[in-house]
Structure 1
Amino acid sequence: MALFQVQGIQKRFGARVVLENISLSIEAGTVHGIMGPNGAGKTTCFHVLTGHHAPDAGHIHFDGQDITGLKPHIIARLGVSRSFQLMNLFDDAVVIENVMLALPAFRAIGSSPFRATFGDARLTKAALAVLDQVGLADRAWHKSKDLSYGERRALEIAVALAAEPRILFLDEPTAGLGAKGTQALAQLIRQLRRQYTICLIEHDMRFLFELADRISVIHWGQVIAEGTPAALQANKWVARSALGAVA
């Protein structure tokens, strides 16, 4: 059984149908890519899969459990974490604070004084371990707003990892990155895939074709093609589009 299974998802906003009969199967330990033109419904799909929008029809299963319509914080606690197209960081906090706030152990403390929490060596150690995963341990005590754009992208991923997920959803992780930053991110994802199942939306097709085990193509709110990067090279829709040169 797939780790994350999506069957017949539909979503509309008023009279506008955004997703129609979306089905996906994400196997444990793989990188699954989602691609398609602007306005195809990719980000809305992510919002539905992670609980930010409830589907109008269909079912979502994570590790055999039906999570359809559950709230985002409940889905996150089950082991599903995500990043967003627009970064959502506490700029005036230091780097380690952003990560520590997302740790399950931090949330469990509840009403304990904030300052006392940051004096807890166990939480500091846990947050530093997450930062080390993304190459930011040496920047732990810098202000988040002082990081480079690429480092901020890595910090956003660290915040998602702090929730201790089993599957990580990344929405346009290369957005705004130059060639060097994209290469660094590709290397980071290669490292993270050893521990996490990853699903990512990506506009950089070369990046996606090099990293993904399988790719789903979404257009007009539907999955119109799916397969390995090699299989999509022969797909007629891909061949007729601007993606053909990359494939």
Structure 2
Amino acid sequence: MPLFEARNIQKRFGARVVLEDVSLSVEQGAVHGIMGPNGAGKTTCFNVLTGHYAPDGGTIRFAGRDIAGMKPHRIARLGVSRSFQIMNLFDDTVVIENVMLALPEFRAMTFSPSRNVFIDRALTDAALEILAQVDLAEKAWDKAASLSYGQRRALEIAVALAARPKIVFLDEPTSGLGAEATRALAQLVRRLRESYTIVMIEHDMRFLFELADRISVIHWGQVIAEDTPTELMANKWVARSALGELA
């Protein structure tokens, strides 16, 4: 049984149909890519799958449980985490604090303005362990605003990992990155796949085709193809779309 599965997802905004009969299936331990031209419905699909929009039709199942229409925080507690195309970090705090704030242990604490969370060794150790996964442990006590753009992308992924998810959704992780930072991110994704199932929207076709086990192609609000990167290269629907030249 797939870890994550969507069937016949529909989403409208007024009279505008954004998603129509979208289906995809993600196996545990896989890297599953989602690609498509601008305006194809990729981000809306991500927002529906992670609870930020409720679907107007269809089913979404995670680990055998129906999560369609659940609020994002409830879905996150089940083990679904995500990053965003536009980064949302606390720049006025240190790197480690961004991660600590996302830890389930921190969220379960009774808030006290006078409490110094940095004296809680268990919290700091947990945050440092996650930062080590994204090669940022040495930057733990630096201001988040001082990080390079590529390091900030890595920190955003660390924040997503802090929720201890089973599956991580990455929205355009290479957006704004140069060639060197993109290569570093590719290495990071290869390491993370050993511990997490990953779904990612990505405009960089080379990056996506090198890393993904399977890719769903969304066009006109529909999945026009889903296959391995090798098979998609020969798919007539992909070749006839604007994606053919990119692929």
The TM-score, its normalising length taken from structure 2, stands at 0.98
Contact map agreement 1:205 1:243 (CA 8 A) in 2: no
2:195 matches 1:181: no
Deviation at 1:238, TM superposition (A): 2.3
Quick one: distance in 2 between partners of 1:85 and 1:117? 29
| 1:1-247 matches, cutoff 5 A | 1-113=1-113, 115-245=115-245, 247=247
Deviation at 1:225, TM superposition (A): 0.6
Query: Does the residue aligned with 2:108 lie in a helix, a strand or coil?
Result: helix
The TM-score, its normalising length taken from structure 1, stands at 0.98
Q: Any idea what the Cα deviations from partners look like across 1:8-42, whole Å, max 9, x if unmatched?
A: 11000001000001111000000000000000000
Deviation at 1:242, TM superposition (A): 5.0
Q: Any idea what the Cα deviations from partners look like across 1:41-66, whole Å, max 9, x if unmatched?
A: 00000000000000001110000000
Quick one: distance in 1 between partners of 2:8 and 2:72? 20
Quick one: distance in 2 between partners of 1:221 and 1:166? 27
Quick one: distance in 1 between partners of 2:237 and 2:59? 27
Counting matched residue pairs gives 247
Quick one: distance in 1 between partners of 2:239 and 2:8? 27
Identity across the alignment (%): 74
Quick one: distance in 2 between partners of 1:58 and 1:245? 32
User: Once superposed, which parts of structure 1, at least 4 consecutive aligned residues long, lie more than 6 Å away?
Assistant: none
Query: Does the residue aligned with 2:154 lie in a helix, a strand or coil?
Result: helix
Query: Does the residue aligned with 2:116 lie in a helix, a strand or coil?
Result: helix
Q: Which runs of 5+ in 1 are unaligned?
A: none
Quick one: distance in 1 between partners of 2:129 and 2:114? 20
Quick one: distance in 2 between partners of 1:114 and 1:134? 31
Deviation at 1:118, TM superposition (A): 2.2
